[in-house]
């Protein structure tokens, strides 16, 4: 039986999804169909594991059972005549991301988790993806949600350290480490969904002169006020972090680059028109790119940084895009 665990990510071990005593249905290959029909009528499952001398050799699904019984009485025949085989098995220590990748190459939708021929459970690709994405969605909604979700993977005494490690101390939003973790999760699972990701990179124009002229306390105040302003200008599902110094990054999910360009321009205008408490006027330059499946963060960031560099060269306080 599938375990009700609190956090499922791409790095969760597949064996962690199952209870110690799973009710997944395990039958030897010479058992007659009638016995399995009884099992399906009692338990809410859609597949059972078929073994030979305790070794998994196949799977019998409800669809297989329907085919076996269609227009004739096969209830007395052994299950091996109707099972789907061969079976795909994974060790419980294998990470979900690796399981999903290998499942793309398998002929069957369902896989078996077993250790040294001891069966742990059975799961199908759709259910596995659903569990992962159900857990991933609240992570994406807000950077603090990501922190809390990550906390669930460590002991109580380590939670304070984890929050410190994934939160920017000055602004209170996520930091580079948090962004990297979410990016990796997206790249591991995002290829299974029709989702387009965009990276928006921006920094404060002439920030060094602000620190030199007004002092670092004023510079820190600008960073905090700008963070609050941008946070109000984006969705909670957008991942907004301080990348470092006066540079920030936003991970967005939209269907087309035109929408993201409009959002970036709106953020730019909000900053440009805002009267900051300390120095009145601040502007930012923006670089944007969209993320392709399989790309590394370094590749994506290099492209966004190139767009940001063009924005600086074009007079600053503007938005530029760099396509892959």
% residues pLDDT > 70 (the chain): 72
Backbone phi and psi for residue 5, each to the nearest 5 degrees, phi listed first: -90, 155
| Residue 110 pLDDT greater than 90, yes or no | no
Of the two residues 216 and 280, the one the predictor is more confident about is 216
Catalytic residue among 143, 246, 295, 322: 246
The pLDDT value given to residue 61: 73
Q: Hey, do 14-124 and 142-321 end up sharing a CATH topology, with the first three levels equal?
A: no
Biggest distance spanned by C-alpha atoms of the chain: 89
The pLDDT value given to residue 79: 72
Domain definitions of the chain by residue range: 14-124, 142-321
Q: How confident is the model at residue 263 (pLDDT cuts 50, 70, 90)?
A: very high
The pLDDT value given to residue 273: 93
Q: How confident is the model at residue 78 (pLDDT cuts 50, 70, 90)?
A: confident
Answer for the pair 269, 170: CB distance below 8 angstroms, yes or no.
no
The pLDDT value given to residue 15: 76
Range list of H helices, the chain: 33-42, 62-69, 96-103, 125-141, 143-151, 159-166, 176-189, 207-214, 216-233, 257-273, 297-313
Mean model confidence pLDDT for the chain: 77
The pLDDT value given to residue 166: 77
Residue 246: active-site member: yes
Helix (H, G, I), strand (E, B) or coil at 58: strand
CATH number for the segment(s) 14-124:
3.10.580.10
| Residue 299 pLDDT greater than 80, yes or no | yes
List pLDDT tens digits, range 135-150.
Answer: 554 444 444 444 455 5
Give dist(CA 284, CA 70) in Å, integer: 68
List pLDDT tens digits, range 145-182.
Answer: 444 555 454 444 444 444 556 788 899 898 988 888 88
The pLDDT value given to residue 140: 46
Answer for the pair 59, 122: CB distance below 8 angstroms, yes or no.
yes
CATH number for the segment(s) 142-321:
3.30.70.270
CA 249, 251, 252, 258 torsion: positive or negative?
A: positive
The pLDDT value given to residue 251: 92
The pLDDT value given to residue 142: 42
Answer for the pair 14, 96: CB distance below 8 angstroms, yes or no.
yes
Given the DSSP bridges, would you call strands 110-115 and 118-124 parallel, antiparallel or unpaired? antiparallel
Using a 10 angstrom Cβ sphere, with 0-12 exposed, 13-18 middle and 19 or more buried, the burial of residue 155 is exposed
List pLDDT tens digits, range 227-242.
Answer: 999 999 998 878 899 9
Give the DSSP letter of residue 173.
S
The pLDDT value given to residue 8: 61
List pLDDT tens digits, range 58-69.
Answer: 777 777 777 666
| Residue 302 pLDDT greater than 60, yes or no | yes
Among 82-86, 170-174, 246-250, 311-315, name the one with the lowest average pLDDT.
Answer: 82-86
């Amino acid at each position: 039986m599938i375990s009700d665990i609190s956090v499922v990510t791409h790095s969760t071990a597949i064996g962690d999804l199952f209870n110690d005593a799973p009710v997944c249905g395990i039958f030897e290959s010479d058992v007659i169909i009638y016995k399995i029909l009884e099992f399906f009528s009692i338990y809410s499952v859609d597949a059972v594991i078929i073994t030979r001398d305790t070794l998994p050799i196949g799977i019998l699904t409800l669809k297989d059972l329907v085919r076996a019984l269609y227009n004739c009485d096969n209830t007395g025949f052994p299950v091996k005549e109707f099972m789907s085989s061969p079976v795909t098995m994974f060790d419980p220590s294998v990470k979900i991301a690796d399981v999903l990748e290998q499942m793309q190459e398998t002929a069957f939708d369902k896989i078996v988790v077993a250790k040294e021929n001891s069966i742990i459970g059975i799961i199908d690709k759709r259910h596995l993806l659903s569990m992962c994405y159900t857990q991933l969605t609240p992570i994406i909604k807000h950077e603090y949600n990501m922190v809390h979700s990550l906390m669930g993977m460590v002991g109580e005494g380590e939670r304070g350290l984890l929050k410190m490690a994934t939160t920017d101390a000055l602004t209170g939003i996520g930091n580079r480490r948090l962004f990297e973790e979410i990016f990796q999760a997206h790249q591991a699972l995002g290829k299974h969904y029709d989702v387009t990701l965009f990276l928006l990179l921006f920094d404060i124009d002439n920030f060094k002169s602000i620190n030199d002229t007004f002092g670092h306390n004023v510079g820190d105040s600008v960073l905090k006020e700008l963070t609050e302003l941008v946070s109000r200008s984006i969705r909670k599902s957008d991942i907004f972090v301080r990348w470092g110094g006066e540079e920030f990054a936003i991970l967005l999910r939209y269907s087309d680059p035109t929408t993201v360009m409009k959002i970036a321009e709106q953020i730019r205008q909000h900053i440009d028109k805002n009267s900051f408490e300390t120095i009145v006027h601040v502007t930012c330059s923006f670089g944007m790119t969209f993320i392709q499946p399989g790309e590394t963060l370094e590749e994506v960031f290099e492209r966004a940084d190139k767009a940001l560099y063009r924005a600086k060269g074009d007079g600053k306080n503007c938005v530029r895009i760099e396509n892959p």
